[in-house]
Amino acid sequence: MNVLLFDYGTGNLHSLRKALELQGARVRVGDAVDGADAVVLPGVGAFGAAATRLAPHADALRRAAAGGLPVLGICLGMQLLLDTSEEGPGCGLGLIPGHVTRLRAARVPHMGWNDVRARGAEPLFAGLDGRRFYFANSFAAEPTDERDVAAGVEHEGVTFPAALRRGTVAGAQFHPEKSGPAGLRLLRNFLETVR
């Protein structure tokens, strides 16, 4: 399976590439979707800078996703699946309608391990409901349609989406590549849905 690890200049490419390769994917780092069986948008960075780097490729990514190409966004990558963010200027891909807002918790950034609860029979979380994943975020997704929330998490009394899904487009607010065996299993689950 050929996975494009999209390089918009701000992501955590090395560890994510290794984690995907451990699950059997052939990973190409770049920005051209041609020949990819799936696209992964990595995390780490600021929305404004990433949106600027993503902009020249946004239409191609939207067309590919509309054609059924599976997309997985991780942390910042998930936030880029939405329309806009309070963090900075620019537009996301709008693949999942919604907005990203500052996390309304007493302690921000939210850094550390939290239990994630899947909603329904979400394939990303097969065998993983209630498992702990590693988060590092100051902003959280607010999708327009609550049905797009695939899993939730609670941090200091504030509940927010831990994962989103709309068709073949999915996102995880946490970092599976830094979440040990549970994170690797989530990446494997994603690749299995692609297959």
pLDDT in tens, 153-191: 999 989 999 999 999 999 999 999 999 999 999 999 999
Question: Considering only CA atoms, which of 4, 79, 81, 1 is closest in space to residue 40?
Answer: 4
3-state secondary structure 120-145: CCCHHHCCCCCCEEEEEECEEEEECC
What pTM value is reported for the model?
0.96
Q: Which of 86, 149, 83, 87 is nearest to 122 (CA)?
A: 149
Query: Is 91 an annotated catalytic residue?
Result: no
Catalytic residue among 21, 57, 75, 87: 75
Calpha distance 178→16 (Å, rounded): 8
The catalytic residue among 146, 156, 177, 192 is: 177
At 80, the pLDDT band (50, 70, 90 cuts) reads very high
Q: What is the pLDDT of residues 103-140, one digit of tens each?
A: 988 888 899 999 999 998 899 999 999 999 999 999 99
2-194: CATH class: alpha beta
Is 75 assigned a catalytic role? yes
Residue for token pair 């709309």: 166
From its phi and psi, is residue 57 left (phi > 0), alpha (psi between -120 and 50) or beta?
A: alpha
Which sequence spans correspond to the domains of the chain? 2-194
Q: Give dist(CA 70, CA 153) in Å, integer.
A: 24
pLDDT of residue 11: 67
**How far apart are the C-alpha atoms of 86 and 59, rounded to whole Å?**
22
Question: Considering 87, 91, 175, 192, which one is annotated as catalytic?
Answer: 175
